[in-house]
Structure 1
Amino acid sequence: MRRGTAARADDDALKSARTTLTTRQTLGLTLILTGVLGATAMAPLSGSVVLLSLQIGFMSLAAWRVFLLWNSRVQPLSDTPQICADPSCPWPRYTVVAALYQETAVLPQLIERLTGIDYPSDRLEGFLALEADDVATIKAALDLPRPDWLQVLIVPPGAPKTKPRALNYALARCSGDLITIYDAEDDPDPLQLREAATRFIHEGDSLACLQAPLRIRCRNKASASPFLDRQFAAEYAALFEVTLPAMSRLALPFPLGGTSNHFRVPVLRALGGWDAWNVTEDADLGFRIWRAGYRLGVIQRPTYEPPPGPLPLWLPQRTRWLKGYLQTLAVHTRYREGMCWRGWTALAATVGAGVASAAIHAVCAAWMFSLALTSIVAGRLPHFSPLGSIVLVSGVIAAWLLKHRGVRQAGGSYSPGDMLPPSPTGACSAWRSPMR
């Protein structure tokens, strides 16, 4: 049972988020922060060097986004390997897992959507992985009609009580050649499993994981949906329609989405499954797969899901994501095995940049606003550093273009303002995440 629930933490504590920071990491961070803050406070020249370093970093991020745009050409569905329509095709056995907790309200909808999956039923196996203390959801799952291939799997009590722990419990008991993960409110394309299986068959054993695009289905028409919903949808479009396809083309590692990942079961078991202590176990797993010498890819048939909702729901989710990104950075920067400059670049440009951008955007915006306001009050025109202005404009344009391309490829329709980052709320979640 233990092997099926907390395998990652047991195998190697340094490679699990169960270990927050090593002594060396804590000492290194302390020295860096002390040096930066001290130099900035004591010497104007040193402060200028720090500011210049930040500007170079953000200019590099803007260039990276343009590079992704250039490499994000998506292969048309008509050019992908043809999905076999013959019932006698030797389809691999597929395991579908949905790890749920207190999801009674959406359970009927989930079962209906899983039932609609277009895959030979004799090659399907499914688990609704439910925590032992979630009596209401267990009762509802047992009472609702389900296809024969979909079972209720009770995850025994234990720590930590997390989604990846439940997934590991299901992984230890599955009989599939391939496995995929869905969340409670997911609505996957019925042919998604067939597309993934076809890709695995055609591309060989080096391909270990495929990520389906996640698309946000707003609660109302795009023009009437709340700003955070539309912004969240544009953000997802930039990630799943542009960034991940480009990184896949470049054979780089990337953070997986939290759902609709498709894996080869033997590879996933060899890696020890998911890290039960990492709240973004998906991001961590993408880099671990690549470090083990395997490839990551993307497919095109999407999974639709709802937005997180208003700010009281959006903020905790974003805080949890950034906390998980910090955990992933901590884990993957404390050992070198399987990493090279390409892997470090991908880690910094995705996970690292995600945390840094959220933390600094609002600070920079507030600083520029205060400079402008002070100048106006003093009766003079605002004066900004030419280099700083170029960095700011370049970053905003690159991010906007990335979202615009993603929204267009996802078939959405949004206003230019929806492409801008929610800086104040993003910064709030970024500064909350280390304390969490």
Structure 2
Amino acid sequence: MILLALGAAAALVRWPQAAFLTLLILFQAAFVVSAIWKTVVAIASLRRPRPCARPIVWPRYTILAALHDEAAVTPQLIANLAHIDYPPDRLEAFIVLETHDHATLAAAQATPHPSWIKIFVVPPGSPLTKPRALNHALRQATGDLVTIYDAEDRPHPQQLRQAAARFVAQPRLGCLQAPLRICPSGRAGSAFLDRQFAFEYAALFEVTLPGMARLGLPFPLGGTSNHIRMTALRAAGGWDAHNVTEDADLGFRLWSLGWKLDVIDCPTWETPPGALDRWLPQRTRWLKGYMQTWGVHTRRPLGLGRRGLLSLVMTLGAGILSAAAHAPTLAWLASALMVGLHAGIAPATPVGSLGVLALGVIAAWMGCAVGAKRAGLDYRLGDMLAAPAYWALLSLAFVHATWRLVVEPHVWDKTPHDGDAQAPELTVVAQESGREAA
């Protein structure tokens, strides 16, 4: 990548006009390919999987929830896990804690919980990351299936049953991803980021991942609510303790071992990270992890096969490239307009470039609109017009991620979570589930 950047810079100095034209054509081609990809994936997502029959014997299930400095939301998480509708004798859960995190340990011990929820303390060591903690807890797990939840998660009570039925019906199914849906946080000063974050999640989990699953392609998993067959996870060696997006990496590793990936529709509700001081470190970690995962899997790209390599390029590769390009593209448009207005003349109108840009923006809006409808969100014209400003912030995170990848590649940027009221829709579902169980 360094050689490519230096080569492009040298070409711009030596042959500025030809080099600029070449880079512009490549950039436009990437936009067109991305727009076509999003359209194809959106169409594919219209086909929904058939429901599976109820298993005669429910497989054993292990829930892992790795917490760090989460004393405020630990009681909330335990309460949400206790609402899960699954045979208790076939269920175990581990609240995974670090040795030095005394506050969260005290909160977990003080919170009443079912007997199948256990507290597991990770021995001291490094790196201090979520995947390392999960790997330690995995040694104690006895389930046939395993799922991961974060501190702020509120999983649908029927999520485990739906996933288990799919695993029993499909022996080569290695992993299922549940959709993550964002609830309003109510925090002051974060409304813009909260809404855009929710639409971004809706486009990813309600459109992109289901579409890729229907096309039979691998995809980067979300950091939570992924359900994994234990034999597949152990064959993959667990999670990469040094990768700060171990979920994205694991999806492609499972695929390379011959396992299939799919999605379910029972969601998990989450709260958004919040204002810029919380959003930026989280997005920086995600992009840094995408770069790590890209670097790992492009060492031997043919190991993923043609379909796996296509998926890697169109998810992680396109995500990294678009994050780098959003702000410069917006700055180019704004500067051209401002210079023209200052000079009192109409700015030059490169119809082809603007057409390509419009195609990419419309495809992104389409994904957010379809995803928002499926997630029950209200996607308005104001949200569409504000989206470019949100996309430009991704370039800020890209710069941070690139620098952090060099100086602190394995440092985990922790996102703090605040306790909040239970989502109304989840309360209703939990009550209905309780009546069915009774």
TM-score (norm 1): 0.89
- Greater shift in the superposed pair: 187-196 or 347-356: 347-356
Q: Is the 8 A contact 2:190 2:274 kept in 1?
A: no
| 1:69 equivalent in alignment to 2:47 | no
| 1:228 equivalent in alignment to 2:200 | no
Map of 1:326 onto structure 2: 291
Q: Secondary structure at the match of 1:208?
A: strand
1:307 partner amino acid: P
1:132 partner amino acid: T
Superposition deviation, residue 254 in structure 1:
0.4
Inter-partner Cα distance in structure 2 for 1:318 and 1:396: 21
Q: Deviations over 1:133-157 (max 9, x none)?
A: 1111112212221110111001000
Q: Deviations over 1:358-378 (max 9, x none)?
A: 111110110111112112222
Query: Within 5 A, what are the aligned runs for 1:339-418?
Result: 339-418=304-383
Map of 2:274 onto structure 1: 309
Query: Within 5 A, what are the aligned runs for 1:192-211?
Result: 192-204=159-171, 206-211=172-177
Map of 1:11 onto structure 2: none
Map of 2:392 onto structure 1: 424
Q: Secondary structure at the match of 1:304?
A: strand
Superposition deviation, residue 337 in structure 1:
5.3
Q: 1:54 aligns with which of 1, 9, 27?
A: 27
Superposition deviation, residue 47 in structure 1:
1.6
Q: 1:433 aligns with which of 374, 384, 401?
A: 401
Map of 1:146 onto structure 2: 113
Q: Secondary structure at the match of 2:73?
A: helix
Q: Deviations over 1:359-416 (max 9, x none)?
A: 1111011011111211222221111322211111000000000110000011111323
2:217 partner amino acid: L
2:396 partner amino acid: C
Superposition deviation, residue 220 in structure 1:
4.3
1:161 partner amino acid: L
Query: Within 5 A, what are the aligned runs for 1:208-287?
Result: 208-220=174-186, 226-287=191-252
Q: Which runs of 5+ in 1 are unaligned?
A: 1-28
Inter-partner Cα distance in structure 2 for 1:184 and 1:314: 17
Query: Within 5 A, what are the aligned runs for 1:132-211?
Result: 132-204=99-171, 206-211=172-177
> Judging changes above 3 Å, is the alpha-carbon distance between structure 1 residues 337 and 381 closer, same or farther for their aligned structure 2 residues?
closer
Q: Secondary structure at the match of 2:97?
A: strand
Q: Is the 8 A contact 1:218 1:225 kept in 2?
A: no
- Greater shift in the superposed pair: 50-59 or 255-264: 50-59
Superposition deviation, residue 225 in structure 1:
7.0
1:148 partner amino acid: S
Q: Is the 8 A contact 1:100 1:130 kept in 2?
A: yes
2:312 partner amino acid: L
Q: Is the 8 A contact 1:41 1:47 kept in 2?
A: no
Superposition deviation, residue 74 in structure 1:
4.6
Q: Is the 8 A contact 2:59 2:164 kept in 1?
A: yes
Inter-partner Cα distance in structure 1 for 2:379 and 2:29: 31
Q: Which runs of 5+ in 2 are unaligned?
A: 405-438
Would you say how many aligned residue pairs link Structure 1 and Structure 2? Answer: 399
Q: 2:51 aligns with which of 71, 77, 80?
A: 80
Inter-partner Cα distance in structure 1 for 2:161 and 2:379: 31
Q: Deviations over 1:91-135 (max 9, x none)?
A: 000000100011111011111010010000000011001001111
TM-score (norm 2): 0.89
Q: Secondary structure at the match of 1:339?
A: helix
Q: Is the 8 A contact 2:336 2:347 kept in 1?
A: yes
Map of 2:430 onto structure 1: none
Map of 1:21 onto structure 2: none
Find runs of 4+ consecutive structure 1 residues off by over 4 angstroms. Answer: none
Superposition deviation, residue 340 in structure 1:
2.0
Inter-partner Cα distance in structure 2 for 1:365 and 1:372: 11
Map of 2:410 onto structure 1: none
Q: Deviations over 1:139-178 (max 9, x none)?
A: 2212221110111001000110100001111111100000
Q: Secondary structure at the match of 2:402?
A: coil
- Greater shift in the superposed pair: 328-337 or 179-188: 328-337
Inter-partner Cα distance in structure 1 for 2:76 and 2:160: 19
Q: Deviations over 1:177-224 (max 9, x none)?
A: 0000000000000000000000001112x1000000000001249xx9
Q: Secondary structure at the match of 1:263?
A: strand
